[in-house]
Structure 1
Amino acid sequence: MSIYYEYLKKNDGEIKADLLELVKAESPSHRKEKVDACGNTLKEIFQNRLKGEWTLETFARETTGDHFLFTLKEPRPKPRVLFLSHFDTVWEVGVLPIVEDGNDIYGPGVFDMKAGLLSSIWAVRSLQQETEDLPFSPVYLFTADEEIGSTTSRSVIEEVAKTCSAVFVMEPPVAGSFALKTERKGVGRYTLGVTGVSSHAGNHHEDGVSAIRELAQQIIILEELTDYDNGTTVNVGVIKGGTSSNVVSASAVAEIDFRVTSYNEAEKLIEVLENLNPVNPSAEISISGELNRPPMKKSEASSRLYQKAQLVGKRLGFDVQEAKAGGGSDGNFTAALGIPTLDGLGIPGDGPHAIHEHIHFDRFSERCALVAELCLELSND
């Protein structure tokens, strides 16, 4: 193993303390005050662990947590490497306990993606401790709304990424295989609204137009757009409607998620979604939404980045694999800009968005060393 791995392994007690502090700072995406408090914890950890003078730029937001960017004040040589991470989670405060079980640590956001975020900090710390001078320029962008679509951070991500030579997305690797993610599906999010006519369910049922019935029929149409052979899925994940069991419903709403492997498939779905017609002509429907994240396609530049990771992995004594992922990440945005992007560089574990969310803490040092040495490998070009 490398000197960076050895350094990290010696300091796994401090790493674990940082991780537990970060996970305890719970940060559900819709709770701005909690996300910002977690951001403050993250800033303290960052400033305590990394040497040098850093410039902090904050991107204040009204409804989501603030995003922030760290860059070194002193100009550094190229390449300029962006460590891209989010610190919001899907978990409401208090829902998921923090548990240590042997080599595994369970907790809200520990796998997705606070451990990976932390490893980007410790990777550069190990380089600062073991090398005289960094041969690259580290850039850290921490965002606070990835789990709800990155609507307030996308422009920041794209502008920062355009200034960088490569993007390391510190999301977790594929569960089980620990593979890096070199391709991801695009993600679309739409809301379908139905307006009917209310009436008494007993006395005047025939006078009503059920928004819920119309929505149910539309859901069948939408779900049948799923095409596994083409990697396309359509999921109606949330439905709301009606006021009482004895009233024919006058309104209903569905939230729709679709995943695609190509822009062509996205365009086909969008064409269908935006031209839906009511099954019952007496009902009215409305549809709004967009392709939230473009598909992340593997480019030649990203392939070369992955090949470097493979070489580094061999030096460290383990195989680095790649895989396609159905979920989207902020790496979808940077890859679509043509910037070499490697995703899934975080810490192995399992259970993203699930009650068994956890990481294998005994794998932290080797994966963190992979990131550190990948930075050096990239600097040799």
Structure 2
Amino acid sequence: MDAVPSLAELLADLRELVECESPSTDLAAVARSADVLAHLGERRLGVAPERVVLDGRTHLRWRLGAGPSRVLLLGHHDTVWPIGTLERRPCTVEAGVLRGPGCFDMKAGLAMMLHAAAGLDGVTLLVTGDEELGSPSSRELVEAEARLAEAALVLEASADGGALKTERKGVSLYEVRLRGHAAHAGLEPEAGVNATLELAHQVLAVAALGRSEEGTTVTPTRAQAGVTTNTVPAEASFAVDVRVRTRAEQERVDAGMRALQPAVPGARIELDGGPNRPPLESSASALLLERARAVAVRAGLPAPTAASVGGASDGNFTAGVGTATLDGLGAVGGGAHADHEHVLVDHLTDRTTLLRALVTDLLAQPTNRLLASGGARP
């Protein structure tokens, strides 16, 4: 490819991707999206991808070159938008802004990935089809590819102003179920064990596990209890969303969740869930950020800034297995998962040039397996 990628071709590929809707929950739609992406990838890379279908979900993998792969480019082609969104929000380009469902998160990153990797050897491109669901079928695939690579570059959209994402919080998800005993609320409430009352105690206990000074949030979310208004509830439940900056905090909260004790005599607690994604700590990105800034300067581009974000991505998994990881290398814009989702067109070529330069630099110079932990890989 040329030193500066063709904006017209980037936009054409991006439009083709956006106009194939791919909600994560629709297996047929994800398969159609994989077909479109495979066709584009074969055109840009000169080779067809390997299709990896797990639990009915279609993931694509390209291994470029005959030798071992040293750099992993990672993304996903599923979106949060249901079929029919495109009718309401068609793909448009006006006044330098491209709009359309999934354009920012993260189909622009996929178009950039294909253009940046063209003609390179020693690179693997992995595009999954269930990231928006938490990567239930693709997590092991992502981790396996990360273990083979010296660096993982994640084409998720940038943070505000184009900042690279050098720190992502880890995620834990729980379901807390409270078991009591039903009784008539008017005739003999004292004969019951009130699961709603136990829920109230446990919601407060769970929320107290948060530590704002550490950036740890423990948030009770969806809750439900009881079946009728005149019955002491025998069952209740609530979900918990945990976000942490460090593994130590993730382990502390998990231990606290498993140590919950009933407050209402006769009540029982059942717990499902646990850590879903490890944190992407800043140590996993530090050296790659330095490389990105250096190659940007050499390419005559502004040195990228860095940001810490609460949302998770598959970059959490690559960092979790000890692979140096830099995230947020995709599009500049905003509105992920919202109606105002958009991509700033003027940044597409510079971002793709930066990605290409960074990959080329990593292939040319040993990374010494830039381990996030500074030790052996898990």
Q: Do both proteins adopt the same fold according to a TM-score greater than 0.5, normalized to the shorter chain?
A: yes
Whether the 8 Å contact between 1:98 and 1:105 is mirrored in structure 2 is: no
Partner residue in 2 for 1:4: 3
The structure 1 residue matched to 2:52, chosen from 22, 46, 59, is 59
Deviation at 1:99, TM superposition (A): 4.9
Q: Residues 267-321 of structure 1: CA distance to partner in whole angstroms, max 9, x if unpaired?
A: 2111110111122123222111121111212337x43321121122222332311
Written as runs of structure 1 = structure 2, the 5 A alignment for 1:36-47 is 36-47=31-42
Whether the 8 Å contact between 2:38 and 2:60 is mirrored in structure 1 is: no
Superposed CA RMSD: 2.3
Partner residue in 1 for 2:200: 216
State whether structure 2 residue 151 is matched by structure 1 residue 159.
Answer: no
State whether structure 2 residue 29 is matched by structure 1 residue 34.
Answer: yes
Whether the 8 Å contact between 2:22 and 2:29 is mirrored in structure 1 is: yes
Partner amino acid for 1:44? H
Q: Residues 312-354 of structure 1: CA distance to partner in whole angstroms, max 9, x if unpaired?
A: 2222332311122222211112122222211110001112223
Q: Partners of 1:32 and 1:157 in 2: how far apart?
A: 19
Q: How many equivalent pairs are there?
A: 361
Q: Partners of 1:378 and 1:334 in 2: how far apart?
A: 17
Deviation at 1:215, TM superposition (A): 1.9
Q: Residues 55-91 of structure 1: CA distance to partner in whole angstroms, max 9, x if unpaired?
A: x3333222x522221123x515x66221111122223
Partner residue in 2 for 1:311: 294
The structure 1 residue matched to 2:351, chosen from 358, 367, 375, is 367
Q: Secondary structure at the match of 1:39?
A: helix
Q: Partners of 1:241 and 1:61 in 2: how far apart?
A: 35
The structure 1 residue matched to 2:276, chosen from 281, 292, 305, is 292
Partner residue in 1 for 2:254: 270
State whether structure 2 residue 110 is matched by structure 1 residue 117.
Answer: yes
Q: Partners of 2:221 and 2:335 in 1: how far apart?
A: 19
State whether structure 2 residue 13 is matched by structure 1 residue 18.
Answer: yes
Deviation at 1:18, TM superposition (A): 2.2
Q: Partners of 1:298 and 1:239 in 2: how far apart?
A: 34
- For structure 1, the 5+ residue unaligned runs are 129-133
Partner amino acid for 2:66? P
Written as runs of structure 1 = structure 2, the 5 A alignment for 1:117-196 is 117-125=110-118, 128=119, 134=120, 136-175=121-160, 177-196=161-180
Q: Partners of 2:28 and 2:228 in 1: how far apart?
A: 35
Q: Secondary structure at the match of 2:6?
A: helix
Written as runs of structure 1 = structure 2, the 5 A alignment for 1:77-88 is 80-88=70-78
Q: Secondary structure at the match of 1:243?
A: coil
Compare 360-369 and 89-98 and name the one that shifted more.
89-98
Deviation at 1:16, TM superposition (A): 2.1
Partner amino acid for 2:235? S
Q: Partners of 1:356 and 1:240 in 2: how far apart?
A: 32
Q: Partners of 2:303 and 2:278 in 1: how far apart?
A: 29
Whether the 8 Å contact between 2:180 and 2:267 is mirrored in structure 1 is: yes
Q: Partners of 1:211 and 1:351 in 2: how far apart?
A: 40
Deviation at 1:260, TM superposition (A): 1.1
Q: Partners of 1:103 and 1:201 in 2: how far apart?
A: 63
Change (3 A) 1:205 1:323: same
Written as runs of structure 1 = structure 2, the 5 A alignment for 1:69-84 is 69-72=61-64, 74-76=65-67, 80-84=70-74
Whether the 8 Å contact between 1:297 and 1:336 is mirrored in structure 2 is: no
Q: Partners of 1:275 and 1:25 in 2: how far apart?
A: 47
- For structure 2, the 5+ residue unaligned runs are 366-378
Q: Secondary structure at the match of 2:148?
A: coil
Partner residue in 2 for 1:131: none
State whether structure 2 residue 90 is matched by structure 1 residue 98.
Answer: yes
User: Structure 1 stretches (4+) deviating beyond 6 angstroms?
Assistant: none
Partner residue in 2 for 1:239: 223
Partner residue in 2 for 1:332: 316
Compare 14-23 and 39-48 and name the one that shifted more.
14-23
Whether the 8 Å contact between 1:66 and 1:144 is mirrored in structure 2 is: yes
Whether the 8 Å contact between 2:69 and 2:148 is mirrored in structure 1 is: no
Whether the 8 Å contact between 1:346 and 1:367 is mirrored in structure 2 is: yes
Q: Secondary structure at the match of 1:229?
A: helix
Percent identity, aligned pairs only? 37
Q: Secondary structure at the match of 1:4?
A: coil
Whether the 8 Å contact between 1:79 and 1:379 is mirrored in structure 2 is: no
